[in-house]
């Protein structure tokens, strides 16, 4: 009987020790930007204004990262878990002005695409306040996260919306940190 209790205790201790390796959690970063409206004469949209909060982003300053008492030098893995765009103003705007969009992570002279969407205008994402969920590229971003700063940039094709349009972007990273 005593040997059985010891075996169960030993198994619980080993299970506890094996779970002490990686700490995994999500880090959410949001930002917004306003795309200038073109009025009655809509022009081609070939640039997307920078998203506030996505330039010179220091991962270690993100609240989710701080909550875990993590150090970015210990990041062993980081991938984009989700990336969404939501039109927040005006209420009557749709995503019909966009054809394609792609987001890139940049740091230390390197750049990789992390999310994209094509044929957006045909998706029927109508007002009020539609949300566009982007398709993700399976990119390992640990080296980007460890950099002093990283930037999230955009490439876009479409037309200017008829009036100034505010877009909120939310990106969720899944991060693994080793002790």
Which phi and psi (to 5°) does residue 160 adopt? -60, 140
**Residues 72-106: tens digit of each pLDDT:** 899 999 999 999 999 999 999 999 989 999 999 99
d(CA 2, CA 108) in angstroms, rounded, equals 59
- Tell me: the pLDDT tens digits for 21-72? 679 999 999 989 898 887 655 677 767 777 877 777 777 788 887 888 888 8
The pTM (predicted TM-score) of the whole model is: 0.83
Each residue's pLDDT tens digit, 105-146 = 999 999 999 999 999 989 999 989 999 999 999 999 999 999
Pairing of β 75-89 and β 98-107: unpaired
- Burial pattern 145-161, b for ≥16 Cβ within 10 A else e, equals bbbeebbbbbebebbbb
Q: CA-to-CA distance for 116 and 155, rounded, in angstroms? A: 9
Beta-bridged to residue 30, according to DSSP, are 170
Q: What is the CATH number of domain 22-177?
A: 2.60.120
Where are the extended beta strands (E) located within the chain? 23-35, 44-45, 75-89, 98-107, 110-117, 131-133, 135-136, 151-159, 165-177
């Amino acid at each position: 009987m005593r040997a059985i209790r010891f075996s169960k205790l030993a198994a619980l201790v080993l299970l506890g020790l094996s779970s002490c390796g990686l700490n995994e959690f999500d880090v959410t970063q949001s930002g917004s930007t306003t795309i200038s409206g073109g009025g009655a004469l809509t022009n081609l949209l070939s640039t997307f204004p920078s998203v506030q909060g996505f330039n010179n982003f220091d991962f270690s300053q993100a609240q989710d990262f701080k909550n875990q008492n993590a150090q970015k030098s210990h990041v062993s893995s980081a991938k984009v878990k989700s990336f969404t765009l939501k039109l927040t103003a005006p209420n009557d705007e749709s995503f019909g002005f966009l054809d394609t969009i792609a987001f890139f992570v940049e740091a230390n002279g390197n750049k990789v695409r992390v999310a994209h969407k094509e044929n957006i205008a045909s998706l029927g994402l109508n007002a009020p306040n539609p949300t566009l969920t982007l398709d993700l590229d399976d990119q390992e971003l640990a080296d980007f996260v460890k950099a002093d700063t990283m930037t999230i940039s955009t490439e876009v094709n479409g037309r200017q919306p008829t009036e100034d349009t505010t877009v909120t972007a939310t990106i969720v990273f899944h991060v693994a940190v080793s002790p």
